[in-house]
Structure 1
C-alpha cells in the first residue's frame, strides 16, 4: 500500500508531532462552535498560524458527531499543477507528523472506473490545500477514511454530480477547501470578501478564481446545495492581516457549514 508523504510539514504547519498536536489542540480550544451536523463544511487552507483558527470552528462543529461520520470527501484546488477535471491519488495512507490517515481506496477506485475522476499523483505531490486539513482530522481521531480529490478547471455541473453521488453514501461528510481573495489591501479585501460571502449565502455558483482559489469545487458544491435545498451558515471570517500578516497584501479566510 503506497503511503503519501507530507509535502508541507515544516512550512504550513509544524513538523514536530508534539508541537503540531499542541498547536491544533489550542486552535480547537480557542475557537468553539456548536450546531447540528452539517452536510458539508468549507474551510480555508493557509498555514495554520494564518487560517487555523477559522478552520477550527468548522472542525469543532463536527466534533460531537464523529461517531456518525465514516468518510470525509475532501475537495480542493490544484495550486501547483494545471489540472482539467478532478483527480485522486494512488495511495492508501497519508503520512503527517501525527501519523497516518487512511484513504478510501474502494470509493476512489469506483470513481475512477466510472469516469468521475482520474489518478494524478503529480497534482497531489506538493499540494497543500487538503494536507493542511489532516492535522485537524487526525487530532479529532474519528473512525473515518478520507478521499482527497483535487478539482481543476471543471464545469460546476460535473462537480455537482460527483457531490450528489458521494453524499448518497451514508456517513459521508464533504469538506471543501478554499481561501477567499488574495493579495489586496486589508479594507479592499474585506469588501471583496463580503461580496463573496453574499454569493455563498445565496448559493450562487458563479464565484470566480479571483474571489476564491477553490472556486471550481465551491461552485460545484453550491450548485448541488441549491438543488438540494441546503442553507449556508457563516461560522467565521478573517484575513491574514488579522492573524499573522501585514495589512497591505492579505488573503481572506472563511469557514461555512451547510445544512
Structure 2
C-alpha cells in the first residue's frame, strides 16, 4: 500500500493550486466560530466539480464546524471506477491534496473492517475515485481554521443496498464505541443524473422547467432521508428508477445516526447543475443534509 494517496482529480473537479484556498474562503465567507455542542452525527454532501456543487457541500461542513469538529470523519462514497474491493476501507497512510496531507485513522479503519461482515481493507478502489477525494479539502480547510488535526477513514461502495447500509452503519458505530472515537459520518452523493449524456431522460420538460422537475424527483428521496427511512429511500429509488449515485453511504449514515442517538435531520441546501451550466444535456441534483442528536 502506498504511504501517500495522491490526488486524482485536482485540477479538474477542484483547483490544483493556490486558487483552491480562495475558492474555499468564498464558500465559507459566512463561517462562524467553531462550536462545542457535537450534536451532528452525520452529513450528506455532493461530490461534483466545485463550480457546480462546492457551495452546497460547504453548507454541510459549515454546520459541522459550527457544531464542533470531530476527531475523525468516516467518508463513504460510491465507487465509480469499478476497481478494487466492492466495499473498500482505505487502510492507512496519508491523503494528499493541494492543501497538504491528512492522516488516515488506521485504527478506526481496521476496526470497521473487522466489525463489518462485508468490508475489506483495500487501497486500489480509492486510487482514481473522486467521490471521497473532493470532500477532503473541505475538511482540511476547516481543520486549519480550528488549528488542529482531523483524521479521515475513506470508504468506497461498489455495492449499495439496504444490507450494505445496515452492515456499515453498525460497524462504524461499534468501532467508534470500541475505540471511544468521536466520529462524524460523511455520505458523499449526488442525486438525480438527468439527460442524454447520462442516457437517462425519464420525462420531457422545457429547459426552464427542468430544475423544478428534477427537484420533485429528488425530494421524494430526500423526504425519506429526513425521516431516517432507509428502506423507504431504497423503495423510492427503485420505483422511480432514480439515478442517485450514493444511496448506500447515505443509508449507512442514517443507520449510524440512529444508533448514535440522532433524532432530527435537516436539509440545508439544494440546487442543480443547471443553475450554473444552463445545459439540458446533463443535469445533476445536489443536497446538503445533516443529522443531529
TM-score normalized with structure 2 length: 0.79
Which consecutive residues of structure 1, in runs of 5 or more, have no partner in the other structure? none
Correspondence list, 1:41-190, <5 A: 41-66=43-68, 69-81=70-82, 85-116=86-117, 117-141=119-143, 142-154=148-160, 155=163, 156-168=165-177, 169-184=180-195, 185-190=210-215
Higher radius of gyration, 1 or 2: 2
- Structure 2 partner of 1:20: 20
CA distance in 1, matches of 2:227, 2:114: 34
Is 1:220 the counterpart of 2:252? The answer is yes
Structure 2 residue runs without a partner (length 5+): 196-209
Work out the CA distance in 1 between the residues paired with 2:16 and 2:58. 19
Point out the more displaced range, 246-255 or 132-141. 246-255
The alignment of Structure 1 onto Structure 2 pairs a total of residues equal to 257
Offset at residue 147 of structure 1 (A): 0.6
- The equivalent of 2:275 in structure 1 is 242
Give 1:187 shift: 3.3
* Cα distance change, pair 10–231 in 1 and its aligned pair in 2 (3 A): same
Report which stretch shifted further, 246-255 or 216-225. 216-225
Conservation of the 8 A alpha-carbon contact between 2:226 and 2:264: yes
Larger displacement relative to structure 2 (183-192 or 2-11): 183-192
| 8 A Cα contact 1:33 1:60, kept in partner | no
Contact residue 91 and residue 110 of structure 2 kept, 8 A: no
Question: RMSD over aligned Cα, in angstroms?
Answer: 2.6
Structure 1 stretch 186-195 or stretch 218-227: which is displaced more?
A: 218-227
Cα distance in 1 for partners of 2:54, 2:288 equals 10
In structure 1, how many angstroms separate the alpha carbons of the residues matched to 2:10 and 2:176? 30
What's the TM-score, normalizing by structure 1? 0.88
Decide which moves more: 194-203 or 18-27.
Answer: 194-203
2:264 alignment counterpart: 231
Do the aligned partners of 1:34 and 1:60 also contact (CA within 8 Å) in 2?
no
Aligned-pair CA distance for 1:161: 1.4
Aligned pair partner of 2:221 in 192, 196, 202: 196
Alignment deviations for residues 151-172 of structure 1 (CA, whole Å, 9 cap, x no partner): 2315232123123224433421
Give the match's secondary structure for 1:8.
coil
